Amino acid sequence: MIEIRNAMALAAGLGTRMRPITNERPKALVEVGGKCLLDWTLDRYGAGGVERCVVNIHHFADQMEAHLAARTGQPAITISDERGEVLETGGGVVKALPELGSDPFFIANIDAIWEEAGAASLDSLRAVWDGAAMDALLLLAPMDATLGFDGPGDAFLETGGEVRFRGKAKSAPYAYAGVQILNPAALAGRTVSRFSMMEVWREIAAEGRLHGVTLPAFWMHVGDPRALAEAEARLAR
């Protein structure tokens, strides 16, 4: 199993769908199940052996800095400051590359949570990662085990592990669960600018180098107040 010690948490979003809660705080600091969304991600990283995590910040950046400064233990935190411009998922990672290094690293959205069931999700990704065959490995949630995801699904998972996007199909059985391993070489030639990671995925999918693994747990996408309430209710049970 490959050792991956560096990671990034994508936490610079404006959280517009979470309003009015995010009128006073960043989405990353919205609490569910007794802790904020960002800490769900950072705690999962710490438990999974990640030693260093880059967190990008923009909305209510001062609150984010104060919260991160108060954290102790693993992982150690480095801030990627996007006060000047939100760079989206792709551009934010490119900006952070000098801190993340040249080896594969984890990337996580902060609005996806779950309670581990069996094998730890990060270990599930590590166990499947094959740098000779893939440039990105996505954690995928079965659509029948999700909450807060309003859509027909994102992708199909082929028998060889390759990810195929839904395209014109009416539905697909998997949603992206918000965590991936990325080979930074997949970003070669890209500059710090505003773009989505989806652009990168589509490029490497065309080469058969985008793979996936299923999440063995119930997945909750906490993207708006309704999903927040539903997640709270499920965790309370």
For residue 1, the model assigns a pLDDT of 63
* Separation between Cα atoms, residue 184 and residue 90, nearest integer Å: 11
Closest CA to 124 of 2, 38, 6: 2
For residue 80, the model assigns a pLDDT of 94
- Answer yes or no: is 210 within a domain: yes
Q: Per the structure, how many domains does the chain have?
A: 1
Closest CA to 145 of 137, 153, 155: 153
Answer left, alpha or beta for residue 170, where phi above 0 means left and psi between -120 and 50 means alpha.
Answer: alpha
- Answer yes or no: is 70 within a domain: yes
Q: Which domain holds residue 87?
A: 6-236
Is residue 25 within 8 Å of residue 123, measured between CB atoms?
Answer: no
Q: Is 175 helix (H, G, I), strand (E, B) or coil?
A: strand
> Is the peptide bond preceding residue 75 cis, with omega within 30 degrees of 0?
yes
- Answer yes or no: is 142 within a domain: yes
* Separation between Cα atoms, residue 126 and residue 137, nearest integer Å: 9
- Answer yes or no: is 116 within a domain: yes
- Answer yes or no: is 218 within a domain: yes
Q: What is the CATH number of the domain that holds 15?
A: 3.90.550.10
Widest CA span in the chain: 48
For residue 118, the model assigns a pLDDT of 67
Q: Which residues of the chain have pLDDT under 70?
A: 1, 118-119
- Answer yes or no: is 68 within a domain: yes
- Answer yes or no: is 1 within a domain: no
- Answer yes or no: is 226 within a domain: yes
